[in-house]
Structure 1
Amino acid sequence: MWRCKDCKRVFSRRSELLKHYKLDHRHYGRGYSYPCSYLSCACRFKTWNALLSHLSRNHPVKQTVTKDLTRFKCPICDFNQLSTERDFFQHIFQHLKNKETVTCVFQDCVYQTNIYENYKSHKYRKHSDISNTFKTGITEKKQLDCGEELCVSSGTDIFDQDSTAQANQDHTFNETDSENLQRDIELKLASVLLKLESSFLVSNAAIDELLQELNYLIGSLSLPVTCRTVTQILHDHLCQFDQSVIEKLARALCETNPVNKAIGDKGSLSSAWRRKQFYKRHFKVVEPEEYILDKKNNKSFQYVSILKSLQQVLDCEVILDQTDNLNCVNKLLQRSSVHTYRSFYDGSFFSENELLCKEESISLILYIDDFEICNPLGTSKRKHKICGLYWILGNLPQGCNSNLSSIYLAALIKTNDLKCYGYEKVLEPLLNELVILEQEGVFVSKLGRAVKGTVQCVVADNLAAHSLGGFVENFTGSYICRFCLAVKTDIQTTEVRSGAFTLRTKSIHADHLKILQEREFPSYQGVKSTSILSHLLYFDITTGLPPDIVHDLFEGVVPFELALCLGVLIKKKYFTLVSLNDAIASFNFKGTDKTNRPHPIALNFEAKKSVGGNAHENWSLIRFLPLLIGHRVQHEEPAWQILTDLRDIVDLVVCPIHTEDSIAYLDFKISEHRTQFQEVFPNCDLKPKHHFLEHYPHLIRQFGPLVALWSMRFEAKHSFFKRVARNIKCFKNVLCSLAERHQYQMAHHLHLSGFPKPLLEVTNVSTVTTDVLDKGIVNALKQKFSNLATVCMTKSATFNGLKYRCGMILIHGSLGGLPEFIEIIQMVILANQLFFLVRKLEGWYVEHYRSYELKTSDKELKLVELQDLTDVYPLEDYRIRGIRLVTVKRYIHV
């Protein structure tokens, strides 16, 4: 029996399981990968051909043979259970990898070596001819019985292996089976076409032409081939038929082909209009609606119903299963310790929200931001600037919303129209539905009841947050903070931690609004108007606008202070800008660090008071700067101390888990950093974002980890709309085109989200016997698994989106308040579980480099499970002036 690892369906033959993969799983999105059909193999592959190649190489089909079987015997360890030449040389190569001396196994050759590459090169240069024979004793013949099975490799298609057996099976299809199969084929074809349109942005005209050619190939051009095939089959079975009957039969086969019927004349997928109607009937399409702002001037915007989208999203079992914290009891269970902040549910704002805390509820996180869909210059600048309003489901566990398909569209408005007509008119349909969600809820068919919900928070940059919240949008005025009543002049002399600034609360904000209305002031203590979101019963402006660390830190404080400090270091001639850029260009970044490597710094960075770059690049620059130029700067240099302390603050802020100790440490580091900055740069005023940063310790206690509410992934969503705009090259009613394309793409994702993405993904494994493994590896394995005969080993594996490779560094435990490091030597897959064969390393913290110096402390190997790690994030090590260093990406709790 064969079982599908994803949907758990059972099949009697391997060929049936593979057909199931090809027909039912072929076009699943969200990074779907095909699993190996063998339960003992954890490999998964992104393409169908890669799966077939793996099965052909590693799991050849068993066939019954009645001839002699050749067995190979290892001349080193006398192991004689090697049935193929390929297995024999893999076994020999394993000896070489263990540095054992091996003599050439071919006749009349005395070559010896203990180096794998040398032996492999010798074999291909001297013994590539198939006439070469093995030495005596290497091979032995064994007579097979009639019923014994032999694994042989075959170059034919997998499905052809069982064709004869399947022809003998008495399996008949009734009319219902035939209709179901035809409907399934039509649905799969529609899924492919929808993917071409929505994901690959192929035009309708191109798809129409493709289908016309395909219809011609299947319906007309293949008719002679079908006639010849039918004639040959009838001839082989000694059947006599009229040629006209054969032609009619062949024509009927071509015309009744399910694909041909779907794409032929008047077929359900034959034209763009018919395809769109088919998508609406069979896929979860929530169409955007156009709302008129000004009919005379042809002003409108696109809105996608949140209630309809929620129904479609929660109708998917995979997504609903992930939202296990819809139940209030589960939320409370997550708060295992009041001193640990892992998510929004650990913050004080969750416990203060009556709906989210006391009832089973839906939590929504909104995001609003402006973006350009093209890059015009001159008078056309900002002509096509668009405001996008997105939302995500806050009930999903942390990390589940990082996929762009989990970010849903609510509205698209031209920025100029938003400024002209205001939030109240533009967001009216959204607010009406949010009020319904709070008071009546949305019906979830899988639960059989309606579930209420509300907005958890609105993620936005400072300008958008102030604009939406009704605060003053001028950051050069007196009141620049939406968290407290600080005056801009006071933030230069007074810290937030001193308690001198009154925090904004719901009652204080209500008083400000009342005074504003009574005295008709343009603004009062930073408040200029009532927020449009105040219509919601369970959402409050003072508790629903979290800070964004992307704009505050990585696009604010970090590039600003980098420019100031690098300018000082260059003037003191520790290095030049050219040498710094050369160091950036020549540094050997590894793995994911290579993807986000910093760009060279512009010549005018001092005048701009910013090093430029996006958030990823600035994060990478502040992290690797000690490794790039740290050896050229004195440890006591004040400007260098500012940069290294800023690096510590960044590590603390991006940490996904916080405790009271880490929050207190962050508060101390921010205060210390402020003092040092003002001492080194007395003539440079603190930016408003420095003041926002001082609120972070208190805000973490209220919102939970701020990295869970940053705008990094939301901004990545803009790329889809920019790509569509470049593709369609038409800006007439561009909002409709963008929204419609997006909704069909989301329908495709929801349709294909029937299977959850597997946590463990491996593309290549080697199954070896423990007899040929190094003694150190065997001893490590036997500490947990004493009776292992074979083991699956791999050099690369992906677990929950994190890729692990041999040579990477992990953190396992702590000693004396410092993390303990281990190096991945090999990875083992046992019962679909990932284990690491590791070597322990000694780590000393080098303060000047803000990194850990690593040395091998123990050559003994140890088997470590993934859940035993202190931190699951894999790290890369770097050689700096002969020292092996590793730099962490976030604060590590030990």
Structure 2
Amino acid sequence: MQGAALGQDALQEEENANQEGEAIDLVKTAASIVLTLRQCPGATSASIERCEEACFKMAEDVNSAATGKVEQFLIDNNLMDNPASEQLLKDLKIEDPFSQMRTIKQQLKFFSKEYGLVIPKTKFLDYRVEYFLNSESGIYEPQQVPMTFESVSIKKTLTQILSNPKLKNLIMSESKSTDGILRSYLDGSRYTESELLQQFPHMIRINLFWDDLEVVNPLGSKTSIHKLAAFYFAIQNLPAVENSQLSSVHLVALAHSEDIREAGFDKVLAPLISELKKLESERGVKIPGEEPDRLRATLCCLCCDGLAAHDLIGLLGPGARHFCRICMISRPEFHANLNSIGARRTKAMFEEQLEEVRQDPRKSKEYGVKRECPLDVLKTFSSTTDSILDIFHVLLEGATQWILVLTLRSFISRKLVTVDEINGRLHSFNYGVTDIKNKPSSNLSLKTLMSYTKLKQTGSQVWCFLRIFGFLVPNVPDDDLHLKLLNLHQEICLIVFAEAVRQTDIDRMEILITEHHALFQQLYLQDLNQEAEAEEDADDPDLDPQEVEAPQHPALQAQPSKRVTPGNKLHEMKHFGEQIRQHGPLVKYWCARFEARHNIFVKYGSVCGNFINPPKTMAQMHQISTLGSILKTTLRSEDIESQSTQDVLCQNCTHSNLLMRMGVEATSMVSITRTVKVSGDIYRDGLFVLLDSRIPAFGVIQKIYLHQNNVFLVVSPWETLGFVRRYCAYQVNPSQSQALIVKQADLSSHRTFAPWRPWKLRETYLAPRTIIFPM
């Protein structure tokens, strides 16, 4: 893997070559161009090849013009007979720098040799039968076809990542919290219980994810044929700001979904498990380079949605009688009491139940178990403990949507608001620059609200809808029970989505969930017929009661009332506290980032005309597109992007006194801008920042100055009147305090807040995404 170390600085060498007087390596420049193009999944190999030809043609024209001027200069000065002149003209000739990178095969070979690209390997799974036309007989005849999948070495991928000194330093410098606040896996009980991690505290910790994805038109006829199963991993040890990038999600395996259904997970995961067994051994795996020369890694968590997790772990689907992968609660018990929790599933219990199922398969329905999990052979991982509940699916694609729909049903049926009014307010609400991309669509209708509990919104839109809901209906009384249920849900989300939580926050969250479920049961489940609702198929995921039903609105014709069926995700919320104590904040494990990684395959599938072996083609594209990000010499935490800057002397600035207090010299040049993005967080005039997390105290940004990679914010403090529960936000008012200056890096929270106002009211509120407390 020495090539990866050598290629580490390849992309930045050319940027400084002219300034430092060094020779320019056109091959490396060409490589950086190809890597940049490959990061765009919409670019086909044919278009990239044409771009290469055009770039070389332009380089030839520039070279020809420059050579002509040099030759004319030598003629004018009678220097053509000089041997040095002849050598100079020879040196000016250029060869095609793209000659080694024309085809995808050449690119794979070149990047593997020069930059340590990890090339996927094709592995055999089994045989399947397909029918092919016999040209002589004109009859379709069965033939055996090998089932294969693409496997990417996790050892080589980790070695390549560690070849980047900055990423390696971040991994090795990770430390546990000392103030009792849970910020990462290191602060959870699972880390403390692991003898392996205690022995090797800097061992790389792996999060594994898998899911199915469609790479063709979902409305077309090839949807099931080309459905793929993707297995990814991410490194826990890296800071959240680095892991927020899609390039931090790495491919492990890619296969046809149907092949996995037939051959099982064991063969697909065998290469990964084999490497992890070596990586989690005491000796580890020797790698070239500086200390540490031993690579150690272990699987700590499985991050999947409910259906995928059950399938891999070896449990029956979420529609089974025992639907929970954490406890043994049955569906009738759950329906009788939403706050009930069953006996905790343990590794010993799982093995005992599995043995009984082997002897009597009919007991599979009784225990909800069907087969063993192939990952349980690893040292640190336990399928009954380390399968993380995905808050993205549990809340934003599940319980949160139910609460929003049921609350709207109640308000509409009582004529507190109409659908048209909600749509109009959603459209005209002033979201601010921080949330405008998450603006909910104004597509609500009576039919969808009264018949379904799934909103036609993305997860981020649902989250934004939840946060602004109170601002859209300020006329609803504060003591309304349906509004209270929604407010409880908002407060739960404040804690669940936090990147750092205290033990007291976890305790409070569990109390809120208990109160939330009790109120839900009081409002919607009083007439639930347990016997009728207890009929479920043992392994039918479609019977997972995702939809909550309620009486229809009179405007849609009077119909008999329907019972409300609570979904599994309400029960899964009861396990949030336990999982946070074990693994740290759950937002570090949510699947939204992994599922967003599917886009590279979906986009490439839309432009790729070759579907002979999609896993092979797309795995290769994924690896090349990721290489450029691994070789980057700047971290996301170092990214500062500004727009429309104006350079002035510090002493000529309006706030020169404040800047000089921060150590900026009067004769130094500073840049003034209205908008700056630091590590993905936007700072702009008119947005609010958190000045003091104890009160909390906020201030509005008046001016932004940039100086030597530092961002200075001139802020006008506002008065905090208190937290208003119905809006789940802090009410603020302007104060008479003088403006002050703060360094962006010194803020206790780097989030900015847009001022929100209730419909037709003048009060100003700041609605945080997560809880605020002193740190």
Shorter-chain TM range is 0.7 to 0.9
What runs of 5+ residues in structure 1 fail to find an aligned partner?
1-6, 10-19, 27-158, 172-176
The change in CA–CA distance for 1:631 and 1:754 in structure 2 (over 3 A counts) is closer
Match among 832, 841, 847 for residue 718 of structure 2: 841
Partners in 1 of 2:394 and 2:468 — Cα distance? 20
2:211–2:229 Cα contact (<8 Å) kept: yes
Question: What secondary structure does 2:495 align onto?
Answer: helix
Partners in 1 of 2:475 and 2:690 — Cα distance? 29
Match among 168, 171, 175 for residue 323 of structure 1: 171
2:214–2:223 Cα contact (<8 Å) kept: no
1:842–1:855 Cα contact (<8 Å) kept: yes
Partners in 2 of 1:557 and 1:312 — Cα distance? 40
Describe how 1:406-555 pairs up with structure 2 within 5 A.
406-439=248-281, 440-445=283-288, 446-473=290-317, 475-494=318-337, 496=339, 501-523=342-364, 524-555=366-397
- Give the aligned partner of residue 522 of structure 2: 679
Amino acid at match of 2:698: F
TM-score (norm 1): 0.73
Partners in 2 of 1:533 and 1:626 — Cα distance? 45
Question: What secondary structure does 2:393 align onto?
Answer: helix
Query: Higher relative contact order by CA 8 Å / sep ≥ 6: 1 or 2?
Result: 2
Alpha-carbon shift at residue 226 of structure 1 (Å): 5.5
Amino acid at match of 1:458: L
User: Greater CA deviation, 577-586 or 194-203?
Assistant: 194-203
User: Does residue 727 of structure 2 align to residue 892 of structure 1?
Assistant: no
Instruction: Give the total of aligned pairs.
Output: 703
- Give the aligned partner of residue 193 of structure 2: 352
- Give the aligned partner of residue 801 of structure 1: 680
1:230–1:246 Cα contact (<8 Å) kept: no
1:655–1:890 Cα contact (<8 Å) kept: yes
Question: What secondary structure does 2:751 align onto?
Answer: strand
For residues 117-138 of structure 1, give each alpha carbon's deviation from its aligned partner in whole angstroms, at most 9, with x where no partner exists. Answer: xxxxxxxxxxxxxxxxxxxxxx
Describe how 1:245-256 pairs up with structure 2 within 5 A.
252=90, 256=93
The change in CA–CA distance for 1:312 and 1:211 in structure 2 (over 3 A counts) is closer
The change in CA–CA distance for 1:714 and 1:240 in structure 2 (over 3 A counts) is closer
Partners in 2 of 1:566 and 1:451 — Cα distance? 54
Partners in 1 of 2:416 and 2:486 — Cα distance? 15
Match among 110, 113, 123 for residue 281 of structure 1: 113
Alpha-carbon shift at residue 782 of structure 1 (Å): 6.2
User: Does residue 497 of structure 2 align to residue 654 of structure 1?
Assistant: yes
Alpha-carbon shift at residue 765 of structure 1 (Å): 4.5
Match among 24, 34, 42 for residue 15 of structure 2: 24
Partners in 1 of 2:96 and 2:707 — Cα distance? 48
The change in CA–CA distance for 1:575 and 1:324 in structure 2 (over 3 A counts) is same
- Give the aligned partner of residue 96 of structure 1: none
Alpha-carbon shift at residue 283 of structure 1 (Å): 2.0
- Give the aligned partner of residue 579 of structure 2: 699
1:348–1:702 Cα contact (<8 Å) kept: yes
2:26–2:97 Cα contact (<8 Å) kept: no
Alpha-carbon shift at residue 779 of structure 1 (Å): 5.7
Partners in 2 of 1:783 and 1:225 — Cα distance? 54
Partners in 1 of 2:749 and 2:57 — Cα distance? 58
2:651–2:666 Cα contact (<8 Å) kept: no
**Bigger CA radius of gyration:** 1
Alpha-carbon shift at residue 719 of structure 1 (Å): 0.3
Amino acid at match of 2:732: L
Alpha-carbon shift at residue 828 of structure 1 (Å): 3.5
Partners in 2 of 1:705 and 1:354 — Cα distance? 22
For residues 474-518 of structure 1, give each alpha carbon's deviation from its aligned partner in whole angstroms, at most 9, with x where no partner exists. Answer: x3332111111211111233455x7x6322223333333343345
The change in CA–CA distance for 1:209 and 1:251 in structure 2 (over 3 A counts) is farther
TM-score (norm 2): 0.84
For residues 502-537 of structure 1, give each alpha carbon's deviation from its aligned partner in whole angstroms, at most 9, with x where no partner exists. Answer: 222233333333433454544142222211112223
Amino acid at match of 1:342: R
Partners in 2 of 1:662 and 1:222 — Cα distance? 64
Describe how 1:301-340 pairs up with structure 2 within 5 A.
301-325=149-173, 331=175, 334-337=176-179, 339-340=180-181
User: Does residue 475 of structure 2 align to residue 667 of structure 1?
Assistant: no
1:231–1:246 Cα contact (<8 Å) kept: no
Match among 71, 74, 79 for residue 234 of structure 1: 74
Partners in 2 of 1:482 and 1:227 — Cα distance? 71
The change in CA–CA distance for 1:529 and 1:765 in structure 2 (over 3 A counts) is same
- Give the aligned partner of residue 824 of structure 1: 701
For residues 400-451 of structure 1, give each alpha carbon's deviation from its aligned partner in whole angstroms, at most 9, with x where no partner exists. Answer: 2111111110111111111111112222222222222223523233325223
Partners in 2 of 1:672 and 1:731 — Cα distance? 52
User: Greater CA deviation, 587-596 or 744-753?
Assistant: 744-753
Partners in 2 of 1:767 and 1:230 — Cα distance? 38
The change in CA–CA distance for 1:509 and 1:212 in structure 2 (over 3 A counts) is closer
- Give the aligned partner of residue 413 of structure 2: 571
Partners in 2 of 1:398 and 1:322 — Cα distance? 11
- Give the aligned partner of residue 557 of structure 1: 399
Amino acid at match of 1:825: Q
For residues 14-61 of structure 1, give each alpha carbon's deviation from its aligned partner in whole angstroms, at most 9, with x where no partner exists. Answer: xxxxxx9782369xxxxxxxxxxxxxxxxxxxxxxxxxxxxxxxxxxx
2:118–2:152 Cα contact (<8 Å) kept: yes
1:302–1:736 Cα contact (<8 Å) kept: yes
The change in CA–CA distance for 1:812 and 1:205 in structure 2 (over 3 A counts) is closer
Amino acid at match of 1:728: C
For residues 529-565 of structure 1, give each alpha carbon's deviation from its aligned partner in whole angstroms, at most 9, with x where no partner exists. Answer: 2111122233211221011000000000011121111
Partners in 1 of 2:706 and 2:462 — Cα distance? 37
User: Does residue 40 of structure 2 align to residue 199 of structure 1?
Assistant: yes
Alpha-carbon shift at residue 576 of structure 1 (Å): 1.1
Alpha-carbon shift at residue 852 of structure 1 (Å): 2.3
The change in CA–CA distance for 1:887 and 1:771 in structure 2 (over 3 A counts) is same
User: Greater CA deviation, 690-699 or 874-883?
Assistant: 874-883
Amino acid at match of 2:15: D
Alpha-carbon shift at residue 393 of structure 1 (Å): 1.4
User: Greater CA deviation, 315-324 or 521-530?
Assistant: 521-530
Alpha-carbon shift at residue 378 of structure 1 (Å): 6.5
User: Does residue 629 of structure 2 align to residue 749 of structure 1?
Assistant: yes
Question: What secondary structure does 2:765 align onto?
Answer: strand
For residues 195-215 of structure 1, give each alpha carbon's deviation from its aligned partner in whole angstroms, at most 9, with x where no partner exists. Answer: 324535544434444545555
User: Does residue 617 of structure 2 align to residue 714 of structure 1?
Assistant: no
The change in CA–CA distance for 1:892 and 1:514 in structure 2 (over 3 A counts) is same
Amino acid at match of 2:331: K
Alpha-carbon shift at residue 685 of structure 1 (Å): 3.3
User: Does residue 139 of structure 2 align to residue 297 of structure 1?
Assistant: no
Question: What secondary structure does 1:262 align onto?
Answer: coil
- Give the aligned partner of residue 585 of structure 1: 427
User: Greater CA deviation, 481-490 or 822-831?
Assistant: 822-831
**CA RMSD, aligned part only?**
3.2
Partners in 2 of 1:274 and 1:867 — Cα distance? 44
Amino acid at match of 1:828: Y
Amino acid at match of 1:341: L
2:485–2:519 Cα contact (<8 Å) kept: yes
Partners in 2 of 1:688 and 1:206 — Cα distance? 48
Partners in 1 of 2:583 and 2:58 — Cα distance? 60
2:637–2:678 Cα contact (<8 Å) kept: no
Partners in 2 of 1:870 and 1:674 — Cα distance? 34
Partners in 1 of 2:764 and 2:63 — Cα distance? 68
Describe how 1:750-789 pairs up with structure 2 within 5 A.
750-753=630-633, 758-763=638-643, 765-768=645-648, 774=654, 777=655, 780-781=658-659, 788=666
- Give the aligned partner of residue 389 of structure 1: 231
For residues 324-343 of structure 1, give each alpha carbon's deviation from its aligned partner in whole angstroms, at most 9, with x where no partner exists. Answer: 25xxxx64xx2313x32111
Partners in 2 of 1:228 and 1:788 — Cα distance? 49
4+ residue segments displaced more than 6 Å: 221-224, 245-251
